[in-house]
Amino acid sequence: MGNRIDIINLGCSKNLVDSEKLSRQLELCGYIVRHDPERIQCDIAIVNTCGFIGDAKEESINVILELASLKQSKQIKRLFVMGCLSGRYIDDLPSEIPEVDKFYGKFSWNEIVTDLGKSFQQEFALHRTITTPSHFAYLKISEGCNRHCAYCAIPIITGKHQSRPMEEIVSEVEWLVLQGVKEFQVIAQDLSYYGKDLYGEFRLAELIEKISEVPGVQWIRLHYAYPAKFPYDILRVIRERDNVCNYLDIALQHVSDPVLQRMRRNVSSKETIELIRRIRDEVPGIHLRTTLLTGFPGESEADFEALMNFVKTMRFERMGAFPYSEEEGTYSALHYYDDIPFEVKQARVDQLMEIQQQISEELNRAKIGSVLRVIIDREEGDCYVGRTEFDSPEVDPEVLISKHKILNIGEFYEVKIVDAEAFELMGEVL
């Protein structure tokens, strides 16, 4: 078992990309790598941690402690920890959990290879071992963030925004297409800022155009845009390029001006509403995904009422809501009192999601009778499970198709929608 490694990936898809690149390097060195195993079976374990919010940090610590116990009982021989939590607390964790052989920062995970006595092969730095279904992959175009929202620890963990060069990203896409990838989830902490640090101007639209021109790229989906200083030229690209999905993930967090100001979002309620309307005007049929935050310090009943009315009026196609979690070192932790009980925060989340469930069901039922292009992700029981261009993996609705015909995983089909629920569509292949 000495040449076998278990990698446990926690947190977001940006972490997953790092784990996939590490997996490839380890395989090039002769290791057999298992990803996210339910049961640890190898001599070496690597945990890629998340440190974004309290629940994620708790999960990361619990996994590390569980593996440390396995090491104490000699069920594993070596234990390495990387990722956001590791990087944020790299000065404290070694003394707290001495069973870990070494902790690595967010961007120093490649040192694991050399610490195992191997050589990191730079010529394969863009290569990855895909752990998602082989027809789609996540494509990380930048790291870090320059926005400094009051509640967010990401700039503390990852530092300033760092765009990857366009040529490097396009080369990675070309390689991934050769591996069979057809669908790309373009991800960053802040898509909107892409290019500013490298080229002196926002160049997301140009990047997406270049990616869309790579032969074999069939779907491109954009995640995590920022509303302030939004790069409006990306809307033309979404509208005109057939392989750029009519989909945009843009985290708005709130709509009340007093809350937005305390959050340091650098955008007003009026600007937010105008942005949404302009996006929908310029890209008819676009599906917007957003996330909202309840219980931020000082959020009054009137502020929350404004947020509920906003959700009812805007009728987002996709929406998630989360309770505020105070993170040490952030502006809000240093300057505000966390004055809203968790029960109230969660109740507000539940109210928003109840409104959203009704909206989602109405919007989904409006699709009954339409014909949509669907990619098949997997088989599940007596159904095939797929997604439309409006649906990102894991977070958005899926299309259930009965097995009247044999379908191929990773292929596209024209599907007539015959029924719908709040978070699922039912369809038949034409």
pLDDT in tens, 325-342: 999 999 999 999 999 999
| SS3 label, residue 173 | helix
Cβ–Cβ under 8 Å, residues 207 and 194 = yes
Eight-state DSSP code of residue 372: E
3-state DSSP helix/strand/coil % of the chain, to nearest 5: 35, 25, 40
Cβ–Cβ under 8 Å, residues 196 and 176 = no
Which pLDDT tens digit goes with each residue over 372-426?
999 999 999 999 999 999 999 999 999 999 998 999 999 999 999 999 999 999 9
Mean pLDDT to the nearest integer, 263-270: 98
Cα dist. 363→147, 366, 422, 424, 425 in Å?
33, 5, 8, 11, 11
pLDDT of residue 52: 73
pLDDT of residue 138: 97
Model confidence at 45: pLDDT above 70: yes
User: How far is 272 from 405, CA to CA, in rounded Å?
Assistant: 45
| Token pair 């919010």 in the structure block, residue | 53
| Token pair 């925004």 in the structure block, residue | 161
36: confidence class by pLDDT, cuts 50, 70, 90? confident
Model confidence at 35: pLDDT above 90: no
Residues in the chain: 430
| Six-digit token string for 283 | 């890209």
User: How far is 301 from 313, CA to CA, in rounded Å?
Assistant: 18
Closest C-alpha among 131, 142, 221 to residue 182: 221
Model confidence at 1: pLDDT above 60: no
Eight-state DSSP code of residue 239: H
User: How far is 304 from 323, CA to CA, in rounded Å?
Assistant: 12
289: left (phi over 0), alpha (psi -120 to 50) or beta: beta
CA of residue 428 relative to chain centroid, distance: 30
User: How far is 385 from 406, CA to CA, in rounded Å?
Assistant: 13
Whether pTM exceeds 0.75: yes
Average pLDDT over all residues of the chain: 95
Q: How many CA atoms are closer than 13 Å to the CA of 286, on its beta-carbon side?
A: 28
Closest C-alpha among 324, 341, 156 to residue 254: 324
